[in-house]
Amino acid sequence: MNIHGFYKTMCQNEHVSPIPLKFGNVGKGGACLIYNAKTFEPLSIKIDKNRLDDIAYGLYHEFAHQICLIKYKYAGHGVKFRKIFNYINEKNKIIDRKQVFTIK
């Protein structure tokens, strides 16, 4: 399954505009959401596929941050984030989390 197509489908389902997915070194984490700290506008999601065993989990996590920024202008890991993350994770449970995503 192509991860870009999967991400675009998630965006359509949640009525969120997709932002670029980038792949490369993230530093200490496996994935991150890059955003404008003044406007809280999400700019891109960066995934380090060499550090993540579960790329879907990383994408769900950053997608939850994207929704949190849009809805609440909040970038942390508090209750609002956890609620959105659990919703995204539960809704996409049909996806085999161990499957290999192609990156193109």
- Rounded to whole angstroms, the Cα distance separating 103 from 73 reads 30
In a domain, 104, yes or no: no
Residues 51, 29 contacting (CB under 8 angstroms): yes
Report pTM: 0.89
Model confidence pLDDT, tens digit, residues 5-61: 889 989 999 999 999 999 999 988 899 999 999 999 999 999 998 898 888 889 999
CATH number at residue 79: 3.30.2010.10
In a domain, 98, yes or no: no
Model confidence pLDDT, tens digit, residues 48-102: 988 988 888 899 999 999 999 999 999 999 999 999 999 998 887 766 555 556 6
Phi, psi of 95 (to 5 degrees): -75, 130
Residue ranges making up the domain that contains 23 = 3-91
In a domain, 99, yes or no: no
What is the token pair recorded at 75?
A: 């970038």
In a domain, 57, yes or no: yes
Query: Which residue, among 72, 83, 69, 79, has the nearest Cα to 35 in the 3D structure?
Result: 69
Structural domain count of the chain:
1
In a domain, 100, yes or no: no
